[in-house]
Amino acid sequence: GQNIDQPTEMTATEGAIVQINCTYQTSGFNGLFWYQQHAGEAPTFLSYNVLDGLEEKGRFSSFLSRSKGYSYLLLKELQMKDSASYLCAVTDSNYQLIWGAGTKLIIKP
Partner 1 sequence: GAVVSQHPSWVICKSGTSVKIECRSLDFQATTMFWYRQFPKQSLMLMATSNEGSKATYEQGVEKDKFLINHASLTLSTLTVTSAHPEDSSFYICSARDAASGDTGELFFGEGSRLTVL
Binding site for partner 1 (CB under 8 A): 30-31, 33, 40-45, 48, 50, 87, 91, 95, 97, 99-102
Shorter beta-carbon distance to partner 1: residue 13 or 25: 25
Shorter beta-carbon distance to partner 1: residue 51 or 109: 51
In the complex, the smallest distance separating the C-beta of residue 34 from partner 1, rounded to whole angstroms, is 11
- DSSP-derived secondary structure for 2-60: -EEE--SEEEEETTS-EEEEEEEE-SS-S-EEEEEE-TTS--EEEEEE-SSEEEEETTE
CB 40 within 8 A of CB 34: no
In the complex, the smallest distance separating the C-beta of residue 54 from partner 1, rounded to whole angstroms, is 19
Shorter beta-carbon distance to partner 1: residue 74 or 98: 98
Shorter beta-carbon distance to partner 1: residue 48 or 70: 48
In the complex, the smallest distance separating the C-beta of residue 15 from partner 1, rounded to whole angstroms, is 27
* Polymer length in residues for the chain: 109
In the complex, the smallest distance separating the C-beta of residue 42 from partner 1, rounded to whole angstroms, is 4
CA 46 → CA 1, 2, 93, 109, distances in Å?
Answer: 26, 23, 22, 24
